[in-house]
Amino acid sequence: MQKNSYKTYWNVKTLVFMALLVAMHLVLTRVLVVELGAYRISVGSVCTILAGLWLGPVAGGVCGFCADIIGCFMKGYAVNPLITVAAVLWGVLPALLKPLFANKGRTGKTVGICISVAVTGFFSSLVFTTAGLVLFLGYNFYAIMPGRLVQFVIMIPIYCVLTVLLYFSPVTSMVVGTVAPVLSKKTV
């Protein structure tokens, strides 16, 4: 991403990685998923978290928004605005919390990523998604909240492990742009 003093411009590389992360999110959330009514067990939000950590909060939010809207059309759901806000938060909040742990060592970054994922999961999953299910789909809050708490307790460690593993993988340096080109000379 190129930054100017007034605006932020996305280059082609950033847009391609955003599209790839949205596509991976859709596959992991809409295809490879276990749906149990008010509960959905998937790891697609990790793609949106990584979009935010790698490309910034705006790109993470756009990825979450696009993945949710396209996913609704894929499955034939009506768009639920509170669940869409929750999807956007998965990309925005970890990126906004990144400056708190960006200059730390590997352990500090790991703890920071896990805390940001847990905070995001609380607001996104327990607050906004639950509110969307109750207000727009008519679920009983007291009936679904215990199950959503269990889902939160099980899924957040999985999100943390996957996010940390992928964040510290060589893919991060490729996306962020700190890898030197493979070919240094023209061959043609």
DSSP code per residue over 32-100: S-EEETTEEE--THHHHHHHHHHH-HHHHHHHHHHHHHHHHHHHTPPP-HHHHHHHHHHHHHHHHHGGG
pLDDT at 37: 74
Provide the percentage of residues in the chain whose pLDDT is more than 90: 76
pLDDT at 187: 54
Report the chain's terminal Cα–Cα distance, integer Å: 29
pLDDT at 68: 96
Mean pLDDT taken over the chain: 90
* pTM exceeds 0.95 for this model: no
Give phi and psi for 154, each to the nearest 5: -80, -40
| pLDDT < 70 stretches in the chain | 1-8, 178-188
* Interstrand relation of 2-3 and 8-9 (parallel, antiparallel or unpaired): antiparallel
pLDDT at 40: 85
Q: Are 161 and 60 in contact (CB under 8 A)?
A: no
pLDDT at 178: 63
Give phi and psi for 40, each to the nearest 5: -130, 125
pLDDT at 95: 96
Q: Using CA atoms, how far apart are residues 139 and 132, in angstroms rounded to an integer?
A: 9
